Structure 1
Amino acid sequence: MSVTPLEALPLETLRRRSSTKWRSYPEDVLPLFVAETDFPLAEPIRAALADAVEIGDTGYTPPDPGLRDAYAAFARRRFGWEVDPARVNWTGDVMMGVVELLRATVAPGERVVITPPVYPPFYICIEEAGGAPHEVPLLEDGAGWSLDLDGIEAALAAGARAVLLCNPHNPTGTAHSRESLAALAAIARRHGAVVISDEIHAPLAQPGGGFTPFLAVSEDAAAVGFAVTSASKAFNLAGLKCALLLTAADATTAVVRALPREVEWRTGLFGAIAAVAAFDASSDSWLDSLLARLDANRRLLAGLLAEQLPLARYTIPDAGFLAWIDLSAYGWGDDPARTVLTQARVALHHGPEFGAGGAGHVRLNFGCAPEVITEAVTRMGALARS
């Protein structure tokens, strides 16, 4: 059955928003940098928040806001994954959860493996937790990206104590294969390391894209793994502050339960209310429409790049609304986003901030109207021809 793609809000409405995406640049700039999307809220979320505002439900988050059962049901429907609700806990956002898990599992100065090009806050949060980032770049074969399992094993054998995984990966949109995740789990267990899997983009995996929850791949993964996720990327709820900490074994669950109570208290009540509504089956049709729009947009972008910027390199992502584009052939320097902003008036994320392999690249957010993508790439194409 075909699904009607979700329509973005008009630009004049979006420019009334007060979030980072719409307050960082002048109105002549198309903002495609930060990971916010341009769509209306899913109706169940809007209704739940409106009701909370109407009755003044703006206090502290309760001991049981309904997140455990809501997420377990969502994971069963969307991923075929049986999550034990008793092993679901929560905090303010995904990176807050990552920091606290690292503090609990990594000693000061110990190394944490990351797989660049990767979400820039990974570096910051590892350092905040007292660890040291250790880069093991993804492997690229021209058709996609994969984990360098030999490189990760070498790093763990040399003393690194954790792997901070991005699955699906930001910025490449790669949904790591079940086989590579199982191999990673076995490597980590062999070396007494933990794996913390950031799965915030999981709800945005395209049908057939192959997303596999890390904790579900094997007994090894359950033993060594923590997953941190949220409704915030798929449902555009970042400002409401709610993320989930997931485990699948007694030892890892004990680690989460031993975290300071403030880790849970940092969860926003509106975030919890919105997340419960997002994970409810009543929001599935909205999410399916969003995925249809993102599928069309990721393919539109490929066609526009071939037409306007034929020397650009871009692999259609498995998940998410972020495109990792190599513009190095155009001679716009290590950080082409700067040139694109000043001369084409399009704001993109800066490739070098994603670590090794980021030079010459940009990250473009295609979670918007097709017309905006078309205008942005057309402006960039004009710059390339000037």
Structure 2
Amino acid sequence: MTRIPHGTSGEPNPLEAFSLDQLRRRTSMKWRTYPEDVLPVWVAEMDVAPPGPVVRAVTEAMESGDTGYPAGTAYAEALAAFADKRWGWSGLAVERTAIVPDVMLGVVEMLRLVTGPGDPVVVNPPVYPPFYDFTRHADRRVVEAPLGADGRLAPDVLERAFREATAGGGRAAYLLCSPHNPTGTVHTADELTAVAALAERYGVRVVADEIHAPLVYDGTRFVPYLSVPGGERGLSLMSASKAWNLAGLKAALAVAGPAAADDLARMPEVVGHGPSHVGILAHTAALRDATGWLDALLDGLDANRRLLTALLAEQLPAVRYRPGDATYLAWLDCRDLGLGDDPAEAFLRHGRVALTGGPPFGTGGAGHARLNLATSPEVLTEAVRRMAAAVRAAGGARA
């Protein structure tokens, strides 16, 4: 399986389409959670102009009144074609897919298929906080297997967690974040093959959240979990929502490996009523017709990774930042700033800039903050300026 690097699209940088004044007119969570004087670089919404093919698909649906219930397999077919071209993976079988409302609701449905109430679910902190919230809401028990100091999967730690999770003889699942949020780590084929071998040894079912898969930078290869040896019993959740900024147009796909098809077939038919038909049209158009837009976005995000590195070195050298190989999220180690377990609180209070605090990400999150890179260079520059001003105001800098 060969990853095909993204090309030069010739399209403008989607991150530079709107001014800050224009962005403040938005009514979504990112722009309405905090007062207007706060600069938001927190939740995973991008400050982008939407792709033309997506705009056309939604507009045509509105104009023709095509606003009913979802039907058909166009979304799955578009994802399969994208996976084949982008990741060199031809193993995404349309007949082993099902539409779900979004990735996290799909995760819950997959966990219900392979575990029961009270059963353990292994996660790798620091990790996306809803992994904890949704798992517990589904009446499952979280077992942590923290990432290593290098931000990568730690096989010995994972094996201990699997052993603990299965010690009572019941069912257990592993909720894999791939690529990893918040670190931006892209798991290698060898790492994922080792995961599959451990899962088989201990009888743990793997559910992979692969929502960030299209957001992998050149020089790094994304490997779908279902493509590795031993991944046949796995279940994956994929969506166009993160890479094309379509969170408000709900839709995602559950994908089963060959040996998990019977599990997916047991998912209640009513789950497929949850996705938005217009969302499916938008996601299909993104995967099929807006890859040039995605390439331009990745170029813009890559430039922002380099810009953030330079800004931190100049203004906040005590902050440790290892640019991730995927996602538009920057995981900042702020422990040397002296701002306590949740530096995002100090950035907000003293600098009027909103980041996502680290503690809800679980073990390893204290003293960290997550910053959203998916904005214009001007906004990113202002965000770091405010962060530095907050550190000075809080008297916590030891840089």
Per-residue CA distance 1:239-271 (angstroms, 9 max, x = gap): 11101101121x411111111111111111111
Q: Does 1:346 align with 2:346?
A: no
The aligned counterpart of 1:377 is: 384
Distance 1:9 1:211 in 2: 30
Distance 2:371 2:257 in 1: 34
- Tell me, what secondary structure is at the counterpart of 1:245? strand
The aligned counterpart of 2:161 is: 155
Aligned residues: 378
Per-residue CA distance 1:97-153 (angstroms, 9 max, x = gap): 100111111122121110000000000111122210001100023xxx211111111
Structure 1 runs (4+) deviating above 6 angstroms are: none
Q: Does 1:78 align with 2:86?
A: yes
- Tell me, what secondary structure is at the counterpart of 1:233? coil
Checking the alignment, whether the CA contact within 8 Å between 1:90 and 1:267 is kept in structure 2 is yes
Per-residue CA distance 1:71-108 (angstroms, 9 max, x = gap): 11011111111111211211100000100111111122
Report the residue type matching 2:286 in the other structure: A
Checking the alignment, whether the CA contact within 8 Å between 2:38 and 2:354 is kept in structure 1 is yes
Distance 1:68 1:378 in 2: 43
Distance 2:391 2:343 in 1: 11
**Structure 1 segments unaligned to the other structure (5+ residues):** none
Distance 1:3 1:345 in 2: 36
Q: Does 1:27 align with 2:33?
A: no
Report the residue type matching 1:192 in the other structure: G
Q: Does 1:202 align with 2:205?
A: no
Equivalent of residue 292 in structure 1, options 294, 299, 310: 299
The aligned counterpart of 2:227 is: 216
- Tell me, what secondary structure is at the counterpart of 1:140? coil
State the 1:3 CA deviation: 5.0
Distance 1:208 1:88 in 2: 29
Correspondence list, 1:219-258, <5 A? 220-223=230-233, 225-249=234-258, 251-258=259-266
Q: Does 1:41 align with 2:50?
A: yes
The aligned counterpart of 2:271 is: 263
Alignment TM-score, normalising by the size of structure 2:
0.92
State the 1:2 CA deviation: 4.7
State the 1:163 CA deviation: 0.7
> Root-mean-square deviation (CA), in Å?
1.2
Distance 1:295 1:78 in 2: 18
State the 1:70 CA deviation: 0.9
Equivalent of residue 182 in structure 1, options 193, 208, 232: 193
Checking the alignment, whether the CA contact within 8 Å between 1:146 and 1:176 is kept in structure 2 is yes
State the 1:65 CA deviation: 4.8
Checking the alignment, whether the CA contact within 8 Å between 2:58 and 2:282 is kept in structure 1 is yes
State the 1:159 CA deviation: 3.1
Checking the alignment, whether the CA contact within 8 Å between 2:124 and 2:147 is kept in structure 1 is yes
Query: Sequence identity, in percent?
Result: 49
CA gap 1:8/1:173 in 2 versus in 1, 3 angstroms: farther
The aligned counterpart of 2:333 is: 326
Distance 1:112 1:85 in 2: 27
Checking the alignment, whether the CA contact within 8 Å between 2:120 and 2:143 is kept in structure 1 is yes
- Tell me, what secondary structure is at the counterpart of 1:168? coil
Distance 1:364 1:373 in 2: 9
Alignment TM-score, normalising by the size of structure 1:
0.95
Distance 2:38 2:200 in 1: 48
